[in-house]
Amino acid sequence: MKTFTIWFTGLPSSGKTTLAGILYDHIRDLGIPIVMLDGDDVRKYVSPDLGYTTKERNKQMKRMYGINNLLRKNGINVIACTNTPPSDEEYDIKTIYVKCPVDVCKKRDVKGLYALAKKGKLINLMGFDLKYKPPKKPYLILETDKLDIIKCIDIIIELILGELYL
């Protein structure tokens, strides 16, 4: 069976990791081999040498692509979530743009990133001092300020998993 990558992208606190985690659990419960690559975890364990400049973010993305490709080559499906969307030349990635206004993201910010950026203690935060560039042609757009998590997951399962597995 062909492997797949579902890549969540959006601003910090838009709901990427929450949605990715729920979807990961659902897919795993179906007995489908799956790994979740959270950008924060990959940065912590694979890229602790990188900061958050544009150049370093690009290097981080190359590492995530590499891990993704190795997993898929070995028959393991991938769910990834990062602030940076996959580049246009990446094939066979189902990009989900988790769209949410920055003011809503700031209210949801459990990590306190926006508050740190406002105090000048965090630089290069997407949606604050770095402009977020949404994916040019996402497979799916989920507006998490308008849809609840359950509805978002239902949409993903119906569209993506239905296409890939059912």
What are the domain boundaries of the chain?
A: 5-100+133-161
Q: In what order do the strands lie in the sheet with 5-9?
A: 34-38, 77-82, 5-9, 93-99, 140-143
Joined together, the tokens standing for residue 27 give 């897919």
Interior/surface letters 120-158, b for 16+ CB within 10 angstroms, e for the rest = eebeebbbbebebeebeebbbebebeeeeeeebbeebbe
The pLDDT tens digits for 144-166 are 999 999 999 999 988 876 776 54
C-alpha 12/C-alpha 144 separation (Å) is 12
pLDDT given at position 161:
67
C-alpha 51/C-alpha 137 separation (Å) is 27
Joined together, the tokens standing for residue 7 give 């890549």
Among 160, 11, 7, 4, which Cα is nearest to 86's?
A: 7
Q: Are strands 140-143 and 77-82 parallel, antiparallel or unpaired?
A: unpaired
- CATH class label, 5-100+133-161: alpha beta
pLDDT given at position 43:
86
The pLDDT tens digits for 32-74 are 899 999 988 998 998 889 878 888 888 988 899 999 999 999 9
* Residues in Cβ contact with 75 at an 8 Å cutoff, skipping those fewer than 6 apart: 3, 33
The pLDDT tens digits for 63-109 are 999 999 999 999 999 999 988 777 755 667 889 999 999 999 999 98
Q: First CA to last CA across the chain, in angstroms?
A: 12
